Chain A
Amino acid sequence: EAQVTQNPRYLITVTGKKLTVTCSQNMNHEYMSWYRQDPGLGLRQIYYSMNVEVTDKGDVPEGYKVSRKEKRNFPLILESPSPNQTSLYFCASSLFWGNYGYTFGSGTRLTVV
């Protein structure tokens, strides 16, 4: 089944404890991206990757890192999580950026206390 697999689905952590949210797609998509969803704000892009060579910041990159060592994986890293990073996170992929609809992962509900 073609899909974007995101783990974990739920995560509660403490301020300052490094964490990684994994994202993997099996569709040979070039483009991958991370979004956070907050009430009243919709979804906002954190980082994106056009392909394994190109990764860049989105609209809200502060406090996050990403890595694209291979095409299928695009983990999101929070080196020192803070309570304002409590949110619902989505990984998404597309064959190429632009005219294709994105396929989204099932989301990660992160709570930082």
Chain B
Amino acid sequence: AQTVTQSQPEMSVQEAETVTLSCTYDTSESNYYLFWYKQPPSRQMILVIRQEAYKQQNATENRFSVNFQKAAKSFSLKISDSQLGDTAMYFCARTGANNLFFGTGTRLTVIP
């Protein structure tokens, strides 16, 4: 099955703290790409970070970093120094079969 699982429907974090969003996936492919997208209330889909499966080094983009565990098929997103503007729905996604498979999302609220 081509599934992407986000087991945390909702999370909250205090401003300036660190939070980790979980994502696991299923695939039989050896090479693929993983993404985290942010969807703020404006509903725009914004690419946060990308990871290539054949690269062992975890991707980092400013305050956003991932913990990619290929054998465990796990791809978590860590947000450091959380800001109010980070409040959004976050989607994990994986490429496969001319498609981009999405998880069901984690709604993150940053509390002032």
Contact = CB atoms under 8 A, between A and B. Distances in A.
Interface string B50-61: 101000000000
B105 A107 contact: no
What secondary structure prevails in chain B residues at the interface with A? strand
A97 B47 CA distance: 15
Interface string A15-45: 0000000000000000001010000111111
Nearest to B92: A42
Interface residues of A, number: 24
A56 interface: yes
Nearest to A40: B104
Contacts of B50: 101
Nearest to B50: A101
Interface string B26-66: 00000001010000001111010010100000000000000
B7 to A, nearest CB: 13
B99 A42 contact: no
Interface of A: 33, 35, 40-45, 48, 50, 56, 58-59, 88, 90, 92, 97-99, 101-102, 104, 106-107
